[in-house]
Structure 1
Amino acid sequence: MGKKKTIKRLEKEVDRLKAELDKTETSAKKKLKKVEKNAAALQDRVVELIKQRDAKRVPDEKPSSAAGGSTSATTSSTRAASSSTSTARKTAPAKKSPAKKAPQKSTPQKAAGTSVTASKTVVQLRSEAKAKGIKGYSTMNKAQLVHALS
């Protein structure tokens, strides 16, 4: 008779544990759906931001190297996906790069070809400076680029 009681008690415990497991599974599925939804929303936002960035680019500008461009997008997507996996914690905003040194203030001297160079955008001037091997072009402002290229 003791065996029957023990078996019955164990069967009740198994049933209770099954019910608890079902609850936990249902809760986990709900949380997973929420995380997937958040991840999809973040991915859509990243794609939207990339499109906005690309739309702001000047058509003459060459995109950064394939490795650099895709790495940036991949990193953003990865960051977005990883931040969505933890809905309980909030992610801190991306850290800004340290402030660059203020460029030297100089007034470029007018040269014969300056008007043509001055009508170009900073992006175009930087690409020209890069092509000519001018060092420090990435931190120069438009006036400095015009001066360096003339």
Structure 2
Amino acid sequence: MRAVIQRVTSSSVEVCGEVVGRISKGFTVLLGVREDDTPEDLKYMEEKIKGLRVFEDDQGKMNLSLDAVGGEILLISQFTLYGDVRKGRRPSFTEAAKGEKAEVLYEALAEALRRSGLRVETGKFGAEMKVSIDNDGPVTILLDSRKGF
């Protein structure tokens, strides 16, 4: 799995002109699922996302997690994170998981984060979405479960 995590002051996602997810302070997480991802990849992402300490403490240091600041998550499926452009200019998505598998892991991550006590909003899997992100900082973190274990 790959994720682009942006610390935000607010974020929302629209499908067909209707807002389907909205958060205030927290993370917008763009998530890509790889064809051979496993439950270990899912667990890695869950732990890293909920434990990231990128919110400022009272001394202005990035030292606090989502839970510590009452943050929320907007989780968006993003298969294009597995776009490979090493050859030519048109991306190849052969490493990206097919829809059914990707959706199962995407929904499982959302549910795992909710079970940990976080408020999680989502987009609509497979839909054309418009995502509004008010990046705070800006702080943007890249995660790849294959580089983590």
Greater helix fraction, Structure 1 or Structure 2: 1
TM-score bracket, normalised by the shorter chain, equals under 0.3
TM-score of the pair, normalised by structure 2: 0.22
Greater strand fraction, Structure 1 or Structure 2: 2
